[in-house]
Amino acid sequence: MITDTLLVVGPGGIGKSPLDRGLRADVGRIDPYRLRKAGPRDSRDVFYAHPRLRDELYFMYQRLGVSLTYLTDTVHWFPAASTLFLKVRDEWQLLLLEALPAGIAKAEVFAPAIPAMFENPQVRRWFGRVSIVVLNPAGPLATLTDLSPVKEKTRFNCQKRGDSLDSVEKRVASIDEEAEAWRQMIALGATEYANWEFPEYVYREKGEKETLVAARRVLLDRCPRLEVFFKTEDGIRRDM
């Protein structure tokens, strides 16, 4: 059974991926299967699944008498089968909770699905104690009258990271949908890190090892319980 789960959310380019390299080796990974219409992205796309799988599982569950609960229009829950279906933009993802690893874990879940998932006690219990980190490149979300500062800094961060123009605009466009979920998560107890100073490009410019050590310090200063997920500073320096 999972005891603790970490979720890190925030806009594109904010530095979520580099933080992964600071996690302990025994942190399990919770990844949904992506039911992509266009097929797997490449040979490393190990969580690809064919979109037809959704219809086949729905039909099988219904034949077995497994009831379906609509947590929202885009988050569907089969309690007796411990199965979640999450709609991410125009494609579905599949998460099988019965097979989750024991111990501590980090989950990769589309931000707008998270509030509905964790407001449901049947779903939340599978994840143990949940720690949600919201990385925000601008001022605190509660103080912003609009999302322009978040969008401007996200555009800058993605450009500095080297994203294509199409990718940059896609990341910026998703903020309107995701920001509402970030606010809901903060209301549910997530820790917001406003004016986050470790976007992805900084790791390249200032050095990955020491930037990761500094980011770890900021995270733990605000939320000491995150220590359970991260390597020590010496461990980061040794392993990188």
Confidence of residue 40 (pLDDT cuts 50, 70, 90): confident
pLDDT of amino acid 104: 95
pLDDT of amino acid 63: 93
Share of the chain above pLDDT 90, in %: 80
The identity of residue 133, as a single letter, is V
pLDDT > 90? residue 93: yes
pLDDT > 90? residue 193: yes
- By C-alpha distance, which of 12, 19, 23, 27 is closest to 128? 27
- Tens digit of pLDDT for each residue in 52-86? 999 999 999 999 999 999 999 999 999 999 999 99
Whole-angstrom distance, CA of residue 104 vs CA of residue 6 = 8
Q: Which domains does the chain have, with CATH numbers?
A: 2-31+102-239 (3.40.50)
H-helix segments, the chain: 16-20, 52-63, 114-118, 121-124, 148-161, 165-173, 175-187, 200-206, 208-222, 233-239
- Looking up tokens 């900021």 gives 218
Strand order in the sheet with 69-72: 48-49, 33-35, 91-96, 83-88, 75-78, 69-72
CA distances to 173, 201, 219 from 163, in Å: 14, 11, 26
pLDDT of amino acid 156: 95
Residues whose CB is less than 8 angstroms from the CB of residue 238 and which lie 6 or more positions away in sequence, other chains included: none
pLDDT of amino acid 200: 95
- Tens digit of pLDDT for each residue in 147-172? 999 999 999 999 999 989 998 998 99
pLDDT > 90? residue 182: yes
pLDDT > 90? residue 100: no
pLDDT of amino acid 19: 94
pLDDT of amino acid 89: 79
Q: Provide the terminal-to-terminal Cα distance of the chain, rounded to the nearest Å.
A: 30
pLDDT > 80? residue 184: yes
Token digits of residue 220: 């733990």
Length of the chain: 240
pLDDT of amino acid 124: 93
pLDDT of amino acid 37: 81
pLDDT > 90? residue 239: no
Token digits of residue 110: 């589309």
- By C-alpha distance, which of 218, 219, 214 is closest to 233? 214
Share of the chain above pLDDT 70, in %: 100
- SS3 sequence of 40-95: CCCCCCCCEECCHHHHHHHHHHHHCCCCCEEEECCEEEEHHHCEEEEEECCEEEEE
Q: In this structure, what DSSP letter does residue 142 have?
A: G
As a whole number, mean pLDDT of residues 90-117 equals 91
CA distances to 51, 64, 81, 155 from 60, in Å: 15, 6, 11, 44
pLDDT of amino acid 45: 72
What's the chain's average pLDDT?
92
